[in-house]
Amino acid sequence: MNVLLIGGGGREHALAWKLKQSPLLDTLYCAPGNAGIDQIAECVALDAAEHAGVIRFCRDNTIGLVVIGPEAPLVLGLADDLQAAGIKVFGPSRAASQLEGSKGFTKDLCAEYGIPTAAYARFADAGAAKAYVAKQSLPIVIKADGLAAGKGVTVAATREEADDAIDACFAGAFGAAGAEVVIEEFLDGEEASFFALVDGETALPLATAQDHKRAFDGDEGPNTGGMGAYSPAPIMTEALSAQVMNEIVMPTVRAMQTRGTPFKGVLYAGLMIKDGAAKLIEYNVRFGDPEAQVLMARLKSNLLPALLATAEGRLAGIVLDWHDDPALCVVMAANGYPGAYFTGTEIKGLDQASADPQVQIFHAGTMRDGARILANGGRVLGVTASGRDIGEAQARAYEAVDKIDWPDGFFRRDIGARALG
């Protein structure tokens, strides 16, 4: 079967690497891909926002499955248009993608179905939002309703900060995504990422994972897309996973089905865990990045049949096996990220760094210039290693990181510390 993978980040390189191992696969195409993906897939310059062009490509290349990596094309309805054209797709419809595309949508759904989450209110104007904040305790969380590339959330310690975040939102800091704000109670605890494949009806939980969202060691500095991850997450006990499935994931799956907008794809629940119980912070409708890197490193079963079964509503018959050995991913980012950064800087030493068969270097933001590899994004590499325990995986990942010669990048030295602590 020929597969078209949409996206070009570290998540997509990890998915491509794992898809490539499936005997079911003939040719793997990736749009747009990156300098790592182009070593294992045929990268094509397709614009994912141009649905007719994607459909034409699928027909011309007898694509048996399209796998959509990032949230933006999902929210714009790429899966709907592919499906309408008779092309199989892994990824939710536009309506089901509202679980990530509108925070207010998800909070309302949680309220309707009794799903544990932070108390909240929705506002379409600044005055009412500020009046509400004035009556709440601090800290308080201000969120742009729509997709804001991970930048739309402010955890405000003071009312001034909260008011500023509200003003910024309504002043257009996040474009149309900020036309409405959601204000939430601050949840205390430890965060974890929970993933389940969902075929509309059946949900199949994946291995557990945690990421590190802050830019600097000790969980300091600005929020990022994720500076590292590991799997399994020791905090996610079996009892806790069962609670998440019973109280959060399954009620959501049933609600979406009842509403006539079934969710098909991978549902990513961002959790806050306190005293052994989880609350939902938010949903994403795609794999996490860099969580996908460690999940793919640990997945023993073939990925392609599982994604195909998800698309075809056959998940009930699927079992996934995982390697016992933990995996850990260290993200290398361009100096300045998540703020302004330079692109086009050269990265050397990748071959030596990836010589160990238990190390995979997933490219996130890279491009090729002749024989040279250049940085081409904020998060640039995801150096991923396996080991008998988290400590060994961590040591192996940093050994590889230290062989990479890229003075224009930085990384955290403490990925996995929470799991080891």
| Interface residues toward ligand AMP, by CB under 6 A | 118, 141, 153, 155, 184, 186-187, 191, 213, 223, 270, 281-282
Shortest separation between residue 345's beta carbon and ligand AMP, angstroms:
28
Q: Which does 186 bind (CB under 5 to 8 A by kind): ligand AMP, ligand GLY, none?
A: ligand AMP
Backbone region of residue 13 per phi and psi (left: phi > 0; alpha: psi in -120 to 50; beta: other values): alpha
Binding mask 285-324 for ligand GLY (x = CB under 6 A): ---xx-x---------------------------------
Backbone region of residue 115 per phi and psi (left: phi > 0; alpha: psi in -120 to 50; beta: other values): beta
Distances (CA, A) of 378 to 65, 72, 138, 389: 29, 18, 32, 29
Site for ligand GLY in 223-262 (CB under 6 A): 225-226
Q: Is residue 284 a contact residue for ligand GLY (CB under 6 A)?
A: yes
Other CB atoms within 10 A of residue 147 CB: 21
Q: Which is nearer to ligand GLY, 182 or 294 (CB)?
A: 294
Report the C-alpha gap between 92 and 58 in whole angstroms: 18
Q: Which of 100, 211, 247, 408 touches ligand GLY (CB under 6 A)?
A: 211
3-state SS class at 320: coil
Shortest separation between residue 287's beta carbon and ligand GLY, angstroms:
7
Q: Which does 409 bind (CB under 5 to 8 A by kind): ligand AMP, ligand GLY, none?
A: none
Shortest separation between residue 274's beta carbon and ligand AMP, angstroms:
11
Q: Which does 289 bind (CB under 5 to 8 A by kind): ligand GLY, ligand AMP, none?
A: ligand GLY
Shortest separation between residue 187's beta carbon and ligand AMP, angstroms:
4
Report the C-alpha gap between 14 and 67 in whole angstroms: 13
Structure tokens at 386: 């396996």
Q: Which does 141 bind (CB under 5 to 8 A by kind): ligand GLY, ligand AMP, none?
A: ligand AMP
Q: Which does 91 bind (CB under 5 to 8 A by kind): ligand GLY, ligand AMP, none?
A: none
Q: Which is nearer to ligand AMP, 81 or 100 (CB)?
A: 100
Structure tokens at 361: 């270097």
Report the C-alpha gap between 31 and 347 in whole angstroms: 23
Shortest separation between residue 101's beta carbon and ligand GLY, angstroms:
14
Report the C-alpha gap between 142 and 163 in whole angstroms: 9
Q: Which does 358 bind (CB under 5 to 8 A by kind): ligand AMP, ligand GLY, none?
A: none
Q: Which is nearer to ligand GLY, 147 or 308 (CB)?
A: 147
Shortest separation between residue 235's beta carbon and ligand AMP, angstroms:
15
Q: Which does 187 bind (CB under 5 to 8 A by kind): ligand AMP, ligand GLY, none?
A: ligand AMP
User: What residues contact 119, with CB distance under 8 A and at least 6 apart?
Assistant: 184, 185
Smallest Cα–Cα separation from 198: which of 83, 313, 77, 95? 313
- Measured in degrees and rounded to the nearest 5, phi and psi for residue 47 equal -90, 115
Structure tokens at 48: 């994912």
Q: Is residue 180 a contact residue for ligand GLY (CB under 6 A)?
A: no
Shortest separation between residue 210's beta carbon and ligand AMP, angstroms:
11
Name the residue type at position 48: A
Place of tokens 């704000």: 181
Q: Which is nearer to ligand GLY, 8 or 64 (CB)?
A: 8
Smallest Cα–Cα separation from 411: which of 388, 386, 394? 394
Shortest separation between residue 272's beta carbon and ligand AMP, angstroms:
6
Q: Give kind and range of the element (H or E) at residue 258.
A: helix 250-258
Q: Is residue 38 a contact residue for ligand GLY (CB under 6 A)?
A: no
Smallest Cα–Cα separation from 92: which of 71, 62, 64? 71
- Judged by the rule CB under 6 A, the positions of this chain that interact with ligand GLY are 211, 225-226, 284, 288-289, 291
